[in-house]
Structure 1
Amino acid sequence: MSAPAAPGRLRPPAFPANWPARLAWAGLVIYTIYATSVLDVTLARFIAGLGNAGHFLSRMFPPNMAPDKLALIYTGMVESLQIAVLATFAGVLLSLPLGLAAARNLAPVAVYGPARAFIAICRSFHPVIVAILFVKAVGFGALAGVLALIVATMGFVAKLFAEVVEEMNPKQVEAVRATAAPFLNVLIMAVFPQVMARFVGLTVYQFDSNLRNSTMVGIVGGGGIGAPLFTAYQRFDYDVVLTILIIIVALIMLCELVSGRVRRIFQ
């Protein structure tokens, strides 16, 4: 049994109060209330929106399966898939050296500093904003969408790949360096065997993301299924909108199954 506390002395609480965390939560609650009032987020508007959403969804059924509509949707989906494949392939190829340059345990300060800054710039803008810039630069079409998604791929894959390289076991790298091997051999013999499985996983995930984003960049003129989707919405052809959404969801689920098998192969 523990000795009794000395007279006149108080035992410290079992769970001391974390006042910084309490203040942070209180500040978050206060700011949430303030932002809700400024943005006019009210329960009445939400309830009214439920009725409008129900009316909108009722106009979407049944989906339009007319042959001419399906042919147009097929063309757009094939283009979206091509955009996603090209953007993922080119973006991943550029992300590999960029991620190595941004790793603090491999590159000197003069290299990983600018590399980190460039990655941050690529991640600073949404793909739709980048797509608008490329549409103004190269015109409407798939090229603008591919270039926008390449930038998005570099911002995501290069950053996470650099973090994966920084978390690897340094002993293998030191062992290969002790043999006076050149830097390329260090990468092949010590770095890539440790990080390649994670890199493949990042690549597969980014392909899924690019396939979804190809729809959004198409809305602003970047090619793909986004243009027919936006046109159908503007024409109030909500049954066509539902058909496009169903096909997009089915394609994403199919790609998810394929990507899961690919990840298991490289594990």
Structure 2
Amino acid sequence: MTSSDTTTAVQRRYKPKRNWLATISYILLGVYLVYVLSLFDVNTGRLADGMEHGANFLGRMFPPNFERYNLLIEGLLESMQIAIIATTAGVVLSLPVGFLAARNLMPAWVTWPARLLIVACRSFHPVIVAILFVKAVGFGALAGTLALVVASIGFIAKLFAEAIEEISLKQIEAIRATGAPFGSVIIFGVLPQVMGRFIGFTSYQLDSNLRNSTMVGIVGAGGIGGTLFAAFQRFDYDFVSAILISIIALIMAAEGINNIMRRLYR
């Protein structure tokens, strides 16, 4: 028997079996997607009308109008202040929550309440949380800041707890063997192993809060989002274009600063 015949025989012998459960699941998923698309009433007429309206809308947005630059600068500065304060407060509050949620450092009766708090903070979109704070504390930057603090806790505390659970326990055991207190174990055994990732989490959250600060402003929680919503209501689309370009420039500048911070830390 030649080598090719042997290979063919082995392939026939070890031919993978079809997973009928997975096949049926894919078929049901495809049928469901077709059903959902049928509910949207998508047709060529609506698509053609939409393309025409979209072209008219874009035509009214250009050229951008930067004459009211004072409103732009004021809104952008307020959004930056909201994002920076919310990120700072969120990081400070996320540190203890992340430690309490780490299952390799804390007992179960401590980690479960901490994880429930994280889940609660992650359960709602920042815009929904901003609406609740607007009702609670009124319109303005305070409501947006509080909403983004909640979002920051839900994101940073979760990732920080997961990062702590992946650390090597050898350093912790060595520090504990010297009789060091729990605080020293955290400072010298845990933080050096997760500090690099924690800085990455913080920089990403700052970038996320800058973007979210524009959304929470739409519901009256301060920032450039309020200016954007007012411009839409006035059908002032050339000013809308200027606001959108300014937001893109702000996000790009923040991304460049984050890259510089990562290089400096490395």
Please report how far the alpha carbon of residue 4 of structure 1 lies from its aligned counterpart in structure 2 after TM superposition: 5.8
| Partner-residue secondary structure (3-state), 2:223 | coil
CA distance in 1, matches of 2:100, 2:182: 12
Spell out, residue by residue over 1:190-220, the C-alpha distance to the aligned partner (whole angstroms, 9 max, x if none).
Answer: 1100101100000000000000000110010
| Partner-residue secondary structure (3-state), 2:206 | helix
Counterpart check, 1:11 vs 2:13: yes
Equivalence for 2:252: 253
CA distance in 2, matches of 1:40, 1:153: 38
Counterpart check, 1:172 vs 2:171: yes
| Partner-residue secondary structure (3-state), 1:59 | helix
Inter-CA distance 200–3: structure 2 relative to 1 (3 Å threshold): same
Equivalence for 1:46: 47
What is the correspondence of 1:103-182 to structure 2 with a 5 Å cutoff? Answer: 103-182=102-181
Counterpart check, 1:89 vs 2:88: yes
Q: CA RMSD in A?
A: 1.9
Equivalence for 2:101: 102
Equivalence for 1:34: 35
Please report how far the alpha carbon of residue 65 of structure 1 lies from its aligned counterpart in structure 2 after TM superposition: 1.9
Q: How many correspondences in the alignment?
A: 261
Inter-CA distance 170–4: structure 2 relative to 1 (3 Å threshold): same
CA distance in 2, matches of 1:101, 1:21: 39
The unaligned stretches of length 5 or more in structure 2 are: none
| The 10-residue stretch of structure 1 (196-205 or 41-50) with the greater mean CA deviation from structure 2 | 41-50
Counterpart check, 1:198 vs 2:197: yes
Please report how far the alpha carbon of residue 265 of structure 1 lies from its aligned counterpart in structure 2 after TM superposition: 2.2
- Read off the aligned partner of 1:137 and give its amino acid letter: A
User: What is the identity percentage for the equivalent residue pairs of Structure 1 and Structure 2?
Assistant: 57
Please report how far the alpha carbon of residue 3 of structure 1 lies from its aligned counterpart in structure 2 after TM superposition: 9.5
Please report how far the alpha carbon of residue 49 of structure 1 lies from its aligned counterpart in structure 2 after TM superposition: 1.5
Return the TM-score normalized by structure 1: 0.92
Inter-CA distance 44–190: structure 2 relative to 1 (3 Å threshold): farther
- Read off the aligned partner of 2:115 and give its amino acid letter: R
| Partner-residue secondary structure (3-state), 1:75 | helix
Inter-CA distance 3–29: structure 2 relative to 1 (3 Å threshold): closer
Inter-CA distance 80–4: structure 2 relative to 1 (3 Å threshold): closer
Spell out, residue by residue over 1:36-70, the C-alpha distance to the aligned partner (whole angstroms, 9 max, x if none).
Answer: 1223344543333222111100000000121xx11
Please report how far the alpha carbon of residue 2 of structure 1 lies from its aligned counterpart in structure 2 after TM superposition: 9.5
| The 10-residue stretch of structure 1 (28-37 or 120-129) with the greater mean CA deviation from structure 2 | 28-37
Spell out, residue by residue over 1:212-243, the C-alpha distance to the aligned partner (whole angstroms, 9 max, x if none).
Answer: 00011001010010111000001000000000
CA distance in 2, matches of 1:52, 1:239: 16
CA distance in 2, matches of 1:181, 1:46: 68
Equivalence for 2:60: 59
The unaligned stretches of length 5 or more in structure 1 are: none
CA distance in 2, matches of 1:169, 1:41: 54
- Read off the aligned partner of 2:78 and give its amino acid letter: E
CA distance in 1, matches of 2:110, 2:153: 17
- Read off the aligned partner of 1:12 and give its amino acid letter: Y
Inter-CA distance 19–72: structure 2 relative to 1 (3 Å threshold): same
Spell out, residue by residue over 1:90-115, the C-alpha distance to the aligned partner (whole angstroms, 9 max, x if none).
Answer: 00110111111111111110111011
Spell out, residue by residue over 1:2-61, the C-alpha distance to the aligned partner (whole angstroms, 9 max, x if none).
Answer: 9969x9xx6130x43233433332232222112212233445433332221111000000
Please report how far the alpha carbon of residue 264 of structure 1 lies from its aligned counterpart in structure 2 after TM superposition: 2.1
Equivalence for 1:22: 23
- Read off the aligned partner of 2:32 and give its amino acid letter: Y
Equivalence for 2:78: 79
